[in-house]
């Protein structure tokens, strides 16, 4: 006030007074640094918490980028689902409380509370899956590899192709015909038919390992379904003893007996159409039952499947369907009424029955049981491994044997001239030789050629088995494969692609 009324002030004093007034005005109109931060926080608070769906969406994007994009989550599927379910229930209760605290609980308030909780959950998952989709399509380390659009987005794409006709190997072959040697068949999966791939992925000195697919039976760990090289190396010794030359001679009478029974069964249907694939399944299942559990399943005599066999085939279909999304298999396996649980219950009962049989009986299981009994502490994990080993015998021995036999007879039916060549070759065997003597049969060139060519055209594991690249990645041909990627060579496509006349 003084500056405005005193007329005796000098010019410099007036200028100083004007500057003082300007600074005062600016100080009153422009907030300081702390005030600006406070204003920003208020705006952010109202933006996020005034719009909770937006906050949940942003939280979903952040969850994917910071959490789900890192490492493996397959084994955490059940815990993750339980955590999300718990979080949803808390959100539902909170929403219900907010809606009923003033007017009391009503039907309408309950509906509104449920709708609010669902909208928040939907917003969160839109954020998660939206971020995931953009990342997989444009920023993933496999984004430079060709492949179908939906295959780059989700593992369910291969499940869809499998379910279409249950001929996944043919669907994979079509993808390679369209996209070349390297095809991205899943968000983190490559199918490779380059000639260098087999050695790079499956050789004894490979730097690749087994991936998340082999965790599907956890906590049950077997020689096949394990990712631990230490476990595999230790357990392999027990299996080597079970398949030594002496051990195989012990099994030969069982193989001969069931082979003769199969021949007799087929012979009884001469002149009538017969689904031999079905009978090959009965034969291999009975034989593996004898070698794994000490007794036949009696399917060759009954002529139809029993419950264990039916459940076994359902389980194989389930694994084929969900093999590209192993995290879902972990979730499904926790459901008590699922096929996997039924199969484990049946096999556990068969193993316990076999353990009560005489110790001097020599079959595949006896060697595995000897190793189990030598362990000083019978942990639950060790017992689960014993159960899983018997599953492995049945799966590997029956299914592969039946499909291989079916392939041989299919091609012989298409090419009857080779049947005549085989008959002529069998006549060269020494008189008195058993037609089931493996030592004699292995020296018949045309028989072995038929078996090998059938295995090439219709391999028992037509889609191949997956492997996991090391953290540093590896090179196949002129392509660099990043680390922590599921890779596999589709046998059906590979065996036909390199042949001069693939379908001959």
**Helix (H) or strand (E) segment spanning residue 190:** strand 189-192
Whether the Cβ atoms of residue 206 and residue 161 lie closer than 8 Å to each other: no
In 3D space, the residue among 187, 109, 198 whose CA is nearest the CA of residue 147 turns out to be: 187
Report pLDDT for 183: 98
Whether the Cβ atoms of residue 384 and residue 219 lie closer than 8 Å to each other: yes
Could you tell me what percentage of the chain is helix, strand and coil, using 3-state DSSP and rounding each to the nearest 5? 65, 5, 30
**Paired tokens of 71:** 């490492």
Return d(Cα 162, Cα 147) in angstroms, integer: 16
Give exposure, 190-206, as e/b (b: 16+ Cβ within 10 Å).
Answer: bbbbbeebbebbeeeee
Residues near 224 by beta carbon (within 8 Å), at least 6 away in sequence? 214, 392, 396
In 3D space, the residue among 245, 222, 252 whose CA is nearest the CA of residue 234 turns out to be: 222
Whether the Cβ atoms of residue 182 and residue 142 lie closer than 8 Å to each other: no
C-alpha torsion angle, residues 215, 216, 220, 224 (rounded to 10): -70
Q: Which residues pair with 487 in a beta bridge?
A: 190, 467
Helix, strand counts (H, E) of the chain: 24, 6
Residues near 7 by beta carbon (within 8 Å), at least 6 away in sequence? none
Return d(Cα 398, Cα 387) in angstroms, integer: 17
Whether the Cβ atoms of residue 325 and residue 332 lie closer than 8 Å to each other: no
Whether the Cβ atoms of residue 403 and residue 460 lie closer than 8 Å to each other: yes
Report pLDDT for 483: 95
Alpha helix (H) ranges present in 30-155? 33-49, 52-63, 77-100, 107-134, 149-153
Whether the Cβ atoms of residue 55 and residue 49 lie closer than 8 Å to each other: yes
Domains of the chain: 37-139 (no CATH), 212-414 (1.10.630.10)
The dihedral sign for the CA sequence 77, 82, 85, 90? negative
Residues near 114 by beta carbon (within 8 Å), at least 6 away in sequence? 92, 95
Whether the Cβ atoms of residue 233 and residue 240 lie closer than 8 Å to each other: no
In 3D space, the residue among 130, 164, 163, 150 whose CA is nearest the CA of residue 59 turns out to be: 130
List per-residue pLDDT tens for the chain, 504 residues long: 334 444 444 444 444 444 445 445 445 554 555 554 554 445 444 444 557 889 999 999 999 999 999 989 999 999 999 999 999 999 888 888 877 766 667 777 788 888 989 999 999 999 999 999 999 999 999 999 999 999 999 999 999 999 988 899 999 999 999 999 999 999 999 999 999 999 999 998 999 999 999 998 888 888 999 999 999 998 999 899 998 988 888 888 889 999 999 999 999 988 888 899 999 999 999 999 888 888 899 999 999 998 888 888 888 888 899 999 999 988 888 887 667 778 888 888 888 888 888 877 888 888 998 889 888 888 888 888 988 888 888 888 888 999 999 999 999 999 999 999 999 999 988 877 777 788 888 889 999 999 999 999 999 999 999 999 999 999 999 999 999 999 999 999 999 875 556 565
Residue 127: phi and psi, rounded to 5, are -65, -45
What's the chain's Rg over C-alpha atoms? 34
Report pLDDT for 249: 86
Return d(Cα 100, Cα 504) in angstroms, integer: 75
Of the CA atoms within 13 Å of residue 230, those in its CB half-sphere come to: 0
In 3D space, the residue among 250, 284, 241 whose CA is nearest the CA of residue 362 turns out to be: 250
Report pLDDT for 22: 41
| DSSP classification of residue 145 | S
**Paired tokens of 349:** 């009962």
Q: Which residues pair with 184 in a beta bridge?
A: 190
Residue 224: phi and psi, rounded to 5, are -90, -45
Per the document, the length of the chain is 504
Of the CA atoms within 13 Å of residue 282, those in its CB half-sphere come to: 19
Report pLDDT for 360: 78
Residues near 411 by beta carbon (within 8 Å), at least 6 away in sequence? 418, 450, 453, 454, 457, 458
């Amino acid at each position: 006030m003084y500056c405005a009324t005193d007329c005796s002030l000098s010019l410099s004093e007036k200028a100083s007074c004007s500057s003082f007034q300007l600074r005062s005005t600016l100080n009153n109109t422009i907030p300081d640094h702390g005030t600006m931060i406070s204003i920003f926080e208020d705006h952010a608070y109202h933006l996020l918490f005034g719009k909770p769906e937006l906050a949940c969406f942003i939280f979903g994007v952040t969850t994917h980028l910071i959490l789900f994009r890192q490492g493996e989550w397959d084994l955490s599927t059940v815990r993750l689902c339980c955590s999300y379910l718990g979080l949803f229930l808390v959100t539902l209760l909170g929403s219900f409380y907010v809606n009923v605290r003033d007017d009391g609980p009503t039907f309408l308030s309950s509906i509104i509370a449920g709708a609010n909780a669902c909208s928040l959950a939907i917003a969160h998952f839109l954020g998660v899956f939206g971020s995931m989709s953009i990342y997989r399509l444009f920023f993933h380390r496999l984004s430079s590899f060709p492949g179908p659009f939906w295959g780059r987005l989700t593992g369910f794409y291969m499940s869809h192709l499998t379910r279409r006709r249950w001929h996944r190997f043919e669907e994979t072959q079509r993808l390679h015909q369209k996209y070349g040697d390297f095809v991205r068949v899943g968000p983190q999966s490559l199918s490779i038919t380059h000639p260098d791939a087999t050695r790079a992925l499956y050789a004894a000195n490979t730097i690749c390992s087994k991936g998340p697919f082999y965790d599907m039976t956890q906590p049950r760990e077997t020689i096949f379904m394990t990712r631990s090289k230490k476990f595999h190396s230790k357990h392999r010794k027990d299996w080597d003893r079970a398949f030594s030359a002496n051990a195989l001679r012990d099994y030969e009478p069982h193989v001969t007996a069931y082979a003769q029974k199969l021949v007799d069964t087929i012979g009884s249907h001469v002149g009538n159409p017969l689904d031999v694939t079905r009978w090959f399944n009965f034969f291999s299942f009975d034989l593996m039952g004898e070698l794994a559990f000490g007794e036949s399943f009696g399917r060759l005599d009954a002529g139809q499947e029993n419950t264990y066999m039916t459940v076994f085939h359902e389980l194989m279909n389930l694994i084929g369907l969900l093999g590209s999304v192993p995290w879902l298999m972990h979730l499904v396996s926790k459901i008590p009424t699922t096929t996997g649980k039924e199969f484990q219950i049946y096999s556990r009962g068969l193993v316990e029955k076999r353990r009560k049989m005489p110790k001097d009986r020599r079959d595949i299981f006896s060697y595995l049981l000897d190793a189990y009994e030598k362990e000083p502490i019978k942990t639950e994990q060790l017992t689960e491994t014993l159960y899983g080993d018997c599953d492995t015998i049945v799966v590997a021995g029956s299914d592969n044997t039946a499909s291989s036999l079916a392939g041989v007879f299919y091609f012989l039916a298409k090419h009857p001239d080779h049947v005549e060549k085989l008959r002529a070759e069998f006549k060269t065997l020494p008189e008195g030789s058993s037609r089931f003597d493996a030592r004699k049969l292995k020296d018949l060139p045309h028989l072995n050629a038929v078996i090998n060519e059938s295995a090439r055209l219709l391999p028992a594991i037509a889609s191949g088995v997956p492997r996991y690249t090391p953290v540093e990645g590896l090179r196949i041909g002129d392509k660099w494969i990043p680390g922590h990627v599921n890779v596999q060579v589709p046998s059906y496509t590979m065996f036909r692609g390199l042949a001069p006349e693939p379908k001959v």
